[in-house]
Amino acid sequence: MNMRPTRPLRGQFCYRIHPLNSVFTAEVLAIFQALDELVVPEKDILILSDSFSALSSLKNISFHSPKVIQRLAAKIHIRKNLNQNIAFLWIPGHSGVSWNEKADSIAKQVSEFSPYIDWIVSEDILSHLKKQSFQIIEENYHKSKYQLLIGNIPDILTSSKWTGNRVQDRLIARIISKLITTPGLLYRFNFHLDPSCRVCNEINDISHILLKCQKYASVRVILWRKLNIVSANITYDVLLSHVLANKNQLLIFVQTLKYFDIDQLHPFGNKCFGSIVYSPFRRPLNYHWD
C-alpha cells in the first residue's frame, strides 16, 4: 500500500500486526494507519493502493461490511468534515510503479522490533475459530471407528454452495457420508432384519445401489455418460470425485437420484426399501411404501 500527499513524503513507517489478521485486513489497516501518519497541511490527499478488494469494499460499503472497513469509512468521513479531501487510486501490484515498489520494500523490513498494532479484526477471529473447529472435527473423525466404516468424507463446504436448498444440502451430505437410509445401513445398526438386495443378493447399501445394482443398470449408463465416467467399474470415491467436480455435475447427479428410487423428501430416505424395520425397543413394524 502506498501513501502520497500532494508533496513528496517526508518519512516512512511500517508496523507489525497479529498473524490472525487476514491479508485483506492488513491492506485496510495500512490505509487506516496512513491517515493517522500523514499529518500534512494540504487539504487533498491521494492514497495509492494495490488492494482492489479493500478499495471495492470501501466503495460499496454497507451495514454488512467488515468492521475494519466501517471503521476506515468513519475516519474518512471525519476528515471530510474537516475539509480534507481524500482520494484513492488502485494500481496493479508488482507493475513497476515506484511508490508501490517502495512500499513493498518497506514491508519486507518489518521485524519483531517494529511497532505493533495490537488489534485483531473480529471477522478474522471467527474465521480462524471456524477453520480450527473443522480441523478438530476432521482429526477426531480420522481417529474414530467411523473412518473404517464410512471411509474418507470429501469436503462438502464447496458443494453446499452449489445446491438449491437445505433439502439438497442434507441429501448430498448423506450421500457423501454413506448415511442414506438403506437396508444395509439399518442392518449395521440392528434396525433391519435383512441387508441383502432382492435383485442382486448383495449388501444393499448406497454404494451397491449407485455402482452395482442390476435394477438400475440402464439409469447408471445414462448417468455415467453425463458425468463423463468411462469405466463401468469404479469406486464410490471416484464417483464422488466426478459428482463434486463442479456445480453442473452435482446438479445432474441430484436430479438423477430419483431414478435410483432415492426420494429426498421421504422420511426414511428411500421408498424402495420398505420391508421390515426392526427396533430392539418394540415389535417389528411392516411398512408398505408406494
Q: What is the pLDDT of residues 98-154, one digit of tens each?
A: 777 777 777 777 777 788 888 888 899 999 998 898 888 778 877 877 676 666 665
DSSP letter, residue 260: G
CA quadruple 278, 280, 283, 286: dihedral, nearest 10: -10
> Residue 39: its pLDDT value, please?
66
In the chain, what percentage of residues exceed pLDDT 70? 78
Pick the CATH number of 16-127 from 2.40.30.10, 3.30.420.10, 2.40.50.140, 3.40.630.30: 3.30.420.10
Q: Which region holds residue 263: left if phi is over 0, alpha if psi is between -120 and 50, else beta? A: beta
Domain with CATH 3.30.420.10 in the chain: 16-127
DSSP characters for 186-202?
HHHTT-BS--B-TTT-S
> Residue 202: its pLDDT value, please?
92
Number of residues written out for the chain: 290
Assess whether pLDDT exceeds 60 at residue 161.
yes
Q: What is the pLDDT of residues 5-56, one digit of tens each?
A: 334 445 677 888 888 999 999 999 988 888 888 766 567 888 888 889 999 9
Say which residue the cell 500534512 belongs to.
40
Q: What are phi and psi of 200, to 5 degrees?
A: -105, -15
pTM here? Answer: 0.54
> Residue 256: its pLDDT value, please?
92
Element (H, E) at 17: strand 16-17
